[in-house]
Amino acid sequence: MQRFTIARFDPVRTANIVAALYAVIVLVFGALLAIPFGMIALIAGERSGQPGLAGGGLIGVLVLLLIGVVFYAVIGWVVTAVVCALYNWLAGRMGGIQVDVRQEAPPHGGAMIPAWPAQPAAPFTVAPGALPPAGTPPGAAPGSDAPPQPPAGWGAPR
């Protein structure tokens, strides 16, 4: 089991995701509520004898749905940004949330994805003398004045 610590949240990116989630959730559940209320508005408008009342009620329900989506997205964004900033401040003083992670075999029986290394890999280095001197044409043997040769098999008849 590996243990990771959530040290910091990016407040703006996290708030963008949460605001989008709020907007989708309110849109879906709002639509589930808007459909029956829209039907009630249409029926009430027809029974009142004023056909314009039915359309006005339906438009009112849709406007209320749109206002709800925007309101929850904006409030969700602001609250999430504030909470992320507060978390980052507290995590810097107390430590972040620790999460225990366990890698399991994929359900299809394929190869497992290797875990991230605990330490970053050593930087790539080239052994001295492994590269030709600067200005050597590609394909030329290091230290020779001969023109470069094409790779083996090039130009052979097929």
Residue 15: inside a domain: yes
For residue 123, name the pLDDT band (cuts at 50, 70, 90).
low
Q: What is the pLDDT of residue 46?
A: 76
- Give the mean model confidence (pLDDT) for residues 70-89: 93
Residue 24: inside a domain: yes
Residue 45: inside a domain: yes
Q: What is the pLDDT of residue 122?
A: 61
Is it the case that residue 118 has pLDDT exceeding 60? no
Q: Rounded to whole angstroms, how far apart are CA atoms 68 and 24?
A: 11
Q: How many CB atoms lie within 10 A of CB 35?
A: 11
- Give the mean model confidence (pLDDT) for residues 6-24: 90
Residue 153: inside a domain: no
Residue 131: inside a domain: no
Residue 116: inside a domain: no
pTM of the full structure: 0.53
For residue 69, name the pLDDT band (cuts at 50, 70, 90).
very high
Number of domains forming the structure of the chain: 1
Segment 83-95, tens digit of pLDDT: 999 999 998 888 8
Segment 144-157, tens digit of pLDDT: 666 666 666 666 66
Range of the domain at 19: 2-101
Question: H helices of 11-124, where?
Answer: 11-47, 51-94
Q: Rounded to whole angstroms, how far apart are CA atoms 142 and 136?
A: 7
Is it the case that residue 23 has pLDDT exceeding 60? yes
Pair of tokens at residue 3: 């243990």
Q: Rounded to whole angstroms, how far apart are CA atoms 111 and 103?
A: 12
Residue partners of 87: CB distance under 8 A and separation at least 6: 9
Residue 41: inside a domain: yes
